[in-house]
């Protein structure tokens, strides 16, 4: 059975069916991310004064990722345009660039996640807080048995609020050193993973869901670039439409990042 | 006629993409500069400016890269519903920000 309107436009809608389908899907995606942005707003305005983090994320890496996604959106559009002018070689080149840019984005995101997962905040028995990146744990380190030591590259502060605004002059001028802490002195210890506070929870949720979209989009684009490109020989019009539909999804993923970057990294 | 039916010139798209990328570069720089600038004591003004710049970025991507400036009526209808419900969602969110249930702690 032949699927209708995969190449030619439906007379009543004026567009082919897959395009209607992808726009309906993107509309549902707007509401999915909208719900999470809504959660972000509620968490942020509901935070205790001085307890919403600023400057926790690496703006340089966020900026690089923004430009990588913008470039990948452009190469996606050019890949489609190359198909329209029947230049298959250029299509291959542009979409190879898209895949490489997407993988670089994911690599940088993984590095950022790793940086958060090795960053620890330790509440000490004397009421102060040690904060920094994990250097090493002694072989006998056991928090439950209170044995061994842990070494961080960071600092010790009196009040947890001092750790919230890393753009504040005091935080900017703070000297970081190696701090070794005995397990017996630790009241509570945790990394900057999703369970750390509401900021890291919404940060990992939003960026994690976005990264899954990047991964899914990359797999589809890779399929169309590799094995799926065989359709070019048999039905180039339909293949071009597939590239357009996958491109619309990719542009949407770029659109989401356009808001994620300022909301999480810059404000 | 939707964008997918128009005759396409690769060179014209390359020029368009170069312009879009330059504007994205400028707007991203402007967002970062605003974020690190000293505009009043709080974050409200900065957030408003940064989000306004982000909307310009989004318009470029949606309008030019997704061809939304020259789409069919059906797509605009779908998006009109989306915008309506998205504004409703955000409106309810903003409305709820001060609506703490009785007995819960407020800051």
> Is A202's pLDDT higher than 90?
yes
Contacts of A261 in chain B (CB under 8 A): 28, 31, 54
* Nearest-CB residue to A15 (from B2, B50, B61): B2
C-alpha to C-alpha distance for A101 and A224, rounded to whole angstroms: 16
Query: Does B24 map to a domain?
Result: yes
pLDDT tens, residue by residue, B38-65: 877 677 889 999 999 999 999 999 999 9
What pLDDT was estimated at residue A27? Answer: 96
Same domain, A110 and A36: yes
Same domain, A245 and A228: yes
Cβ-defined contact of B21 to A46 (cutoff 8 Å)? no
ipTM given for this complex: 0.88
Contacts of B53 in chain A (CB under 8 A): 262
A192 to A112, A163, A177, A178, A247: CA distances (angstroms): 11, 12, 19, 18, 35
pLDDT tens, residue by residue, A47-62: 888 889 999 999 999 9
Contacts of B93 in chain A (CB under 8 A): 38, 41-42
Same domain, A112 and A201: yes
What pLDDT was estimated at residue B98? Answer: 74
Same domain, A102 and A37: yes
Enclosing domain of residue A72: 24-116+197-266
Instruction: List the single best residue of A74, A78, A165 to mutate versus B (max B Cβ within 10 A).
Output: A74
Residue of B nearest to A28 (CA): B82
pLDDT tens, residue by residue, A5-58: 888 889 888 899 999 999 999 999 999 999 999 999 989 988 888 889 999 999
- DSSP state at residue A2: P
C-alpha to C-alpha distance for B82 and B76, rounded to whole angstroms: 10
Same domain, A48 and A65: yes
pTM: 0.92
B98 to A42, A44, A66, B94: CA distances (angstroms): 10, 12, 33, 8
What pLDDT was estimated at residue B1? Answer: 39
Contacts 24+ apart (CB under 8 A), A8-16: A9/B2, A9/B5, A13/B72, A13/B74, A14/B2, A14/B72, A14/B73, A14/B74, A15/B2, A15/B4, A15/B72, A15/B74, A15/B75, A16/A241, A16/B4
| One-letter-per-residue 3-state SS of A158-205 | CCHHHHCECCCHHHHHCCCEEEEEEHHHEEEEEECCCCCCHHHHHHHH
What pLDDT was estimated at residue B107? Answer: 54
Cβ-defined contact of B65 to A87 (cutoff 8 Å)? no
* Nearest-CB residue to A38 (from B28, B61, B93): B93
Contacts of A20 in chain B (CB under 8 A): 74-75, 78
Segment A195-222 shows an average pLDDT of: 97
> Is B96's pLDDT higher than 50?
yes
Query: Does A217 map to a domain?
Result: yes
Query: Does B70 map to a domain?
Result: yes
CATH of the domain at A123: 2.30.30
Same domain, A147 and A206: no
Question: Pick from A191, A212, A234: which residue ends a domain?
Answer: A191
C-alpha to C-alpha distance for A67 and A77, rounded to whole angstroms: 15
Segment B15-29 shows an average pLDDT of: 95
Same domain, A104 and A205: yes
Query: Does A259 map to a domain?
Result: yes
* Nearest-CB residue to B21 (from A63, A71, A266): A71
Query: Does A147 map to a domain?
Result: yes
Instruction: List the single best residue of A50, A54, A84, A238 to mutate versus B (max B Cβ within 10 A).
Output: A84
* Nearest-CB residue to A70 (from B24, B72, B78): B24
How many domains does one find in chain B? 1
Query: Which residue did the predictor score with more confidence, B1 or A28?
Result: A28
Is-contact A228 A36, C-beta < 8 A?
no
Cβ-defined contact of A13 to B46 (cutoff 8 Å)? no
How many domains does one find in chain A? 2
Distance from CA of B70 to the nearest CA of A (A): 12
**Percent of chain B beyond pLDDT 70?**
86
Question: Pick from A191, A210, A228: which residue ends a domain?
Answer: A191
C-alpha to C-alpha distance for A5 and A17, rounded to whole angstroms: 6
Cβ-defined contact of B61 to A59 (cutoff 8 Å)? no
Among A255, A53, A257, A46, which residue's Cα sits nearest to residue B93?
A46
Query: Does B89 map to a domain?
Result: yes
- Coil, helix or strand for A11? coil
Query: Does A89 map to a domain?
Result: yes
Task: Identify the H or E element spanning A135.
Answer: strand A129-137
Instruction: List, as one string, the DSSP characters of chain B.
Output: --GGGS---HHHHHHHHHHHHHHHHHHHHHHHHHHHS--SSSSHHHHHHHHHHHHHHHHHIIIIIS-GGG--HHHHHHHHHHHHHHHHHHHHHHHHTT-PPTTS---
pLDDT tens, residue by residue, A133-192: 999 999 999 999 999 999 999 999 999 999 999 988 889 899 999 999 999 999 999 999
Same domain, A70 and A168: no
Distance from CA of A241 to the nearest CA of B (A): 8
Query: Does A50 map to a domain?
Result: yes
Q: Residue B106 — very low, low, confident or very high, per pLDDT cuts 50/70/90?
A: low
Question: Pick from A191, A222, A252: which residue ends a domain?
Answer: A191
Enclosing domain of residue B60: 8-94
Q: b/e string for A87-126 if b means 16 or more Cβ within 10 A?
A: eeebbbebbebbbebbbbbbebbeebbeebeebbbbbbee
* Nearest-CB residue to B21 (from A16, A70, A87): A70
Task: Identify the H or E element spanning A154.
Answer: strand A149-157
pLDDT tens, residue by residue, A73-123: 999 999 999 999 999 999 999 999 999 999 999 999 999 999 999 999 999
CATH of the domain at A106: 1.20.120.80
């Amino acid at each position: 059975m032949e699927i209708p309107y995969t190449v030619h436009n439906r007379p009543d809608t004026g567009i082919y069916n897959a395009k209607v389908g992808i726009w309906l899907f993107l509309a549902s995606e707007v509401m999915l991310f909208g719900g999470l942005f809504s959660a972000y707003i509620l968490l942020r305005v509901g935070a205790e004064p001085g307890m919403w983090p600023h400057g926790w994320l690496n703006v340089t890496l966020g900026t690089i990722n923004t430009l990588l996604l913008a470039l990948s959106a452009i190469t996606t559009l050019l890949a489609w345009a190359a198909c329209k002018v029947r230049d298959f070689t250029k299509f291959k080149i542009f979409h190879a660039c898209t895949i490489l840019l997407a993988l670089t984005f994911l690599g940088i995101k993984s590095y950022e996640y790793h940086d958060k997962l090795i960053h620890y905040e330790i509440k000490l028995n004397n009421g102060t807080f040690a904060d920094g990146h994990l250097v090493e744990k002694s072989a006998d380190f056991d928090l439950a048995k209170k044995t061994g030591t842990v070494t961080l590259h960071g600092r010790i502060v009196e009040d947890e609020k001092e750790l919230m605004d890393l753009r504040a002059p005091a935080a900017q001028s703070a000297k970081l050193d190696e701090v070794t802490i005995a397990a017996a002195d630790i009241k509570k210890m945790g990394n900057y993973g999703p369970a750390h506070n509401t900021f890291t929870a919404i940060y990992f949720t939003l960026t994690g869901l976005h990264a899954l979209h990047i991964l899914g989009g990359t797999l589809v684009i890779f399929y169309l670039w590799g094995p799926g490109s065989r359709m070019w020989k048999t039905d180039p019009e339909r293949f071009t439409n597939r590239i357009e539909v996958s491109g619309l999804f990719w542009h949407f993923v770029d659109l989401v990042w356009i808001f994620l970057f300022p909301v999480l990294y810059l404000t | 006629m939707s964008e997918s039916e128009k005759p396409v010139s690769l060179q014209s798209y390359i020029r368009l993409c170069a312009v879009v990328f330059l504007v994205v570069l400028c707007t991203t720089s402007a967002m970062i500069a605003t974020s690190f600038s000293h505009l009043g004591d709080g974050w409200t003004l900065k957030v408003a400016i940064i989000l306004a710049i982000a909307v310009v970025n989004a318009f470029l991507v949606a309008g030019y890269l997704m061809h939304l400036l020259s789409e069919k009526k059906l797509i605009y209808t779908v998006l009109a519903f989306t915008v309506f419900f998205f504004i409703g969602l955000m409106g309810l969110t903003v409305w709820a920000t001060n609506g703490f249930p009785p007995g819960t702690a407020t800051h």
